[in-house]
Structure 1
């Protein structure tokens, strides 16, 4: 086992110290913090670009009394913009806007049916929140005007907008509550991406590592001192541990970023990802299917990587494996809206699709215990068989040199391993 742990440490520590790994990790951590503070950064840039003066909206009120009511509606909310009434013509305001003397303007009028007409004009390409707030305020004024016209009291107006009492009950034996289903859908969606990218990135890394050692002739020295089987599984475990550590770093960075950046956006994201009502067993299944999915594809990647002698051939050789995980992701994604589709149940027992599809079903449905356990058992058996077969191919494949002809080299690798 000493040789195994030496190769394990070499695969883990060497990759950890590479510039590409460090730079990629730092860029991702920085991106997480930028995302968490995006609203603050946008607000700061807007404030800096607009100067120290507060942005101004000039309002031309043809009715003569709407602008005062609008100011009253907006007094309670900090929109970061000052409203000014003006008697200037729309043409004059348009000229001021084109010269950037004002940020925006709005014309207000009331027709013969007592309906408010508003025309908001701006040159900003990303001006979304302010027009929405203005529209909401004007809608409230419109409601008040109609209530006055119909001689309705405030309480009578409230009764017009009273929501109905609607309850939904699902008697399906595999159904979950609405809150659990929503949280499960979010968790499944996030973890599907994590599993997908982890398998794609780290499995490719294993294949590339093996091919690199072969192309540099380092493999010949390693195989003379340690068995190919130990070498393969040490690589798989070492880079797998590296991937887990990197994902944990991203998770910790994300938690710190969103905890230290308190804003409406981050609080909304935190409430969106609130899994307080989620069954903890779902999280356990997430870890299990993540690990099994990784080791299944990583073993296959090590097998395929041993068949090539040049790093340029790695992507071509692992293309079938990449297509498998892409197909699994597409199948699982189609089930987010309806996890009870028939083909999902069938594909959830196919080992190369199970990490995503069965986890989708476990997360969103209340399945009998035997279904996920059967899928896990099939995956474990597949990993064992693939490991046994992969070790035989790996044993001869690491000693094969020359151009790679495709998957036909597997037979040649097995024959070479017997010699």
Structure 2
């Protein structure tokens, strides 16, 4: 056991002291701080808060359209331009105005408009078009003899309320807050599994290629080394997550009063559920161990760094498949394929977590999926230990799954000789 902890501490400390780990952790912390200051950053660079000014030339009688437009303008400021169209267009090119709006009336005495701007994609023109549409509807209704009260009744939104009969189902407010949070945590789980899984495989292969492995296996058992490395790199990942969690907590305390609305409502930080975060941690740990154990076994049968990617790539594709399935599940969390996939061990960490975050999943379903996942991890750990025992002694060109059979045979021979 002492040798296990020696390998564990050496792997952990050597990893967390590397420049790459320190720099990546610092980048993550800066990103977290940046996320909490996104509204301020957007306002600083876009000048949000200053209403764009639009030049208006109204060719209608008594400039009635301009008056109607000015009375309802909220996100922009229309200014009646004293000049012709060419002068107004030149003023727009000189950035004196956001754009130019030329108002007129059709043969049916309904509003018509042409907007001139530097670019066709302009949010201000969209706002003006929407307001002119309302003015057109009001004028058309007036010409048809429909009074304003009747029009308001026609366009009033229908009363439509959703109520769930399942007591465990989430409310609309909870779903709105969970959507973005689940998306971010699923993406973080996807990146973490790939990153740390590949790290284990490359670490083992690097030790073999540098012949350090020969020294290690003479001082401690290969299986002990494998699980020490898996645990050490997993702890390194949890250390990074802990730093991020502390940064989020600190920023919530600093910016807590400014987190409501817009971006923060979408990602769910303002109303993050402790249950959702707890299951995120549980499935992160289980998902990590599942894929890390597989990668450790695969990394042990190759001795060249260029062969690692070839052997581990099917596992990466499997993780990517789970991620893309989770992205589909965000819009259909109760679909049959999502429910079935949540019980498939290789998909469970992401898909079951998705269902927990988006739906009211019964406790027995959660317990069953975790039990299947844990049983699969134990089975794969038993197989990977056998592969690792023989794989660390194999050298030469590798990169195919035939090496797994050879590693199992070599592991059996070693076990028989030890008896």
Offset at 1:302? 0.9
Per the alignment, residue 334 of structure 1 pairs with 328
- Note if 1:300 corresponds to 2:297: no
Offset at 1:170? 4.2
Q: Residue 259 of structure 2 contacts residue 270 of structure 2 at CA under 8 Å; is this kept in 1?
A: no
- Note if 1:163 corresponds to 2:157: yes
1-side partners of 2:168 and 2:257: how far apart?
Answer: 38
Given the alignment, which residue of 347, 353, 358 partners 1:359? 353
Per the alignment, residue 66 of structure 1 pairs with 65
Q: Residue 39 of structure 1 contacts residue 265 of structure 1 at CA under 8 Å; is this kept in 2?
A: no
- Note if 1:245 corresponds to 2:242: no
Offset at 1:358? 2.6
2-side partners of 1:42 and 1:188: how far apart?
Answer: 24
2-side partners of 1:341 and 1:83: how far apart?
Answer: 49
Q: Counterparts in 2 of 1:27-176, with a 5 A limit?
A: 27-46=27-46, 56-63=53-60, 64-74=63-73, 77=74, 79=76, 83-100=78-95, 102-124=97-119, 127-128=122-123, 130-139=124-133, 141-142=135-136, 152=147, 158-171=152-165, 176=170
2-side partners of 1:193 and 1:374: how far apart?
Answer: 24
Q: Residue 15 of structure 1 contacts residue 21 of structure 1 at CA under 8 Å; is this kept in 2?
A: yes
Kindly provide the CA deviation profile for residues 156-181 of structure 1, in whole angstroms up to 9, marking residues without a partner as x. 66544433322234446885444444
2-side partners of 1:33 and 1:126: how far apart?
Answer: 31
Given the alignment, which residue of 365, 368, 379 partners 2:373? 379
Per the alignment, residue 189 of structure 2 pairs with 195
1-side partners of 2:119 and 2:228: how far apart?
Answer: 56
**SS of the residue aligned with 1:109?**
strand
Change beyond 3 A, Cα 1:44–1:195: closer
Offset at 1:84? 2.8
Offset at 1:330? 3.0
Change beyond 3 A, Cα 1:28–1:236: same
Q: Tell me how many residue pairs correspond in the alignment.
A: 409
Change beyond 3 A, Cα 1:271–1:365: closer
The two structures, once aligned, show a CA RMSD in angstroms of 3.5
Q: Residue 179 of structure 1 contacts residue 277 of structure 1 at CA under 8 Å; is this kept in 2?
A: no
Q: Residue 72 of structure 2 contacts residue 131 of structure 2 at CA under 8 Å; is this kept in 1?
A: yes
Q: Residue 329 of structure 2 contacts residue 338 of structure 2 at CA under 8 Å; is this kept in 1?
A: yes
With the length of structure 1 as denominator, give the TM-score of the two structures: 0.83
1-side partners of 2:25 and 2:323: how far apart?
Answer: 24
Q: Residue 176 of structure 2 contacts residue 266 of structure 2 at CA under 8 Å; is this kept in 1?
A: no
Change beyond 3 A, Cα 1:249–1:115: farther
Kindly provide the CA deviation profile for residues 129-170 of structure 1, in whole angstroms up to 9, marking residues without a partner as x. x234434444555566568765856x6665444333222344
Unaligned runs of 5+ in 1: none
- Note if 1:23 corresponds to 2:23: yes
With the length of structure 2 as denominator, give the TM-score of the two structures: 0.83
Change beyond 3 A, Cα 1:71–1:291: same
The answer to which of 174-183 and 190-199 deviates more is 174-183
Given the alignment, which residue of 204, 210, 221 partners 2:204? 210
Given the alignment, which residue of 283, 288, 305 partners 1:289? 283
1-side partners of 2:42 and 2:357: how far apart?
Answer: 36
Q: Residue 177 of structure 2 contacts residue 265 of structure 2 at CA under 8 Å; is this kept in 1?
A: no
